[in-house]
Structure 1
C-alpha cells in the first residue's frame, strides 16, 4: 500500500472516532477543503463546512460507528460497518462508506450507502 493510501486509511479510522465524539474540529482536520460528501437522501455537501453540517456537527454524539471491515487500495478506502444509536436502544444501521484520498493525504470524497439488514 502506498503512503497516501495508508494515511487515508488512518484518517478514516480517526474520522469515525471524531464523529462519535461529536468533534467537528477533529473531523474537519481530516477532510480536504474541497471535500465532497454524498449521504443517502441528501444533495452532495461540498467543502468542509457543508460536510460537517451534513453530519449535524457540532452536536452531541447520537451514534457510534462500529467498523466491521476496512480495505484500502489505490487511494480508495472502503469501509463496511454499523451505525449504532447512542440512545440506549442499540438500534443498528449497516453502512458502506467509500472514501478517496487526495494528493495531500486528506479525504477528498466520501460516499455513504446504507444496506438492508437480512
Structure 2
C-alpha cells in the first residue's frame, strides 16, 4: 500500500460493482445523447474529462475491457467512427458514483 492510500478503508465489493455498472451506463447515456441520465451517475464535484468531453454527434464508445479494483474503474475501448483507442480511468465516490475521470488516447487520431 502506498502512502496516498495509507489508513484508507477500501470500498466494499458492492460499491466497486456498482461503480462498474455506472461506468457502463455512462457510455450508454453519452452515446444515446441522454445527458440527464449521464448526470445522474456523477458525484457532486466530479473532476475530469468525463464531464467536459462529449463525443461528437453519432460517435459511439465500443468498450473492449473494464477492470476494477476498490475505488478505481478502468475502461478500455475505441471511439467510433474516429477509430480512436482510449483508456478512461474513473475514481468512484464512497457510494459508487463517478467522482473523477482521466482519459488517455493511444496516439494521434487517424
TM-score category of the 2 structures, normalised to the smaller one: 0.7 to 0.9
Q: Is it true that 1:5 corresponds to 2:37 in the alignment?
A: no
Q: In the comparison of the two structures, how many residue pairs are matched?
A: 97
Structure 2 residue aligned with 1:45: none
- CA, structure 1 residues 9+64, in 2 after alignment: closer, same or farther (shift >3 Å)? same
TM-score by length of 1: 0.75
Residue pair 1:21, 1:61 contacting (<8 A) in 2 also: no
Where structure 2 has 5 or more consecutive residues not aligned to the other structure, the ranges are 1-11
Where structure 1 has 5 or more consecutive residues not aligned to the other structure, the ranges are 40-50, 86-90
Residue pair 1:19, 1:61 contacting (<8 A) in 2 also: no
How far apart in 1 are the matches of 2:67 and 2:54? 27
Specify which of 65, 86, 98 is matched with residue 95 of structure 1.
86
How far apart are residue 55 of structure 1 and its match?
2.9
Q: Is it true that 1:20 corresponds to 2:16 in the alignment?
A: no
How far apart in 2 are the matches of 1:76 and 1:56? 21
- CA, structure 1 residues 62+13, in 2 after alignment: closer, same or farther (shift >3 Å)? same
Cα RMSD of the aligned pairs, angstroms, is: 2.0
Runs ≥4 in structure 1, deviation > 4 angstroms?
A: none
TM-score by length of 2: 0.80
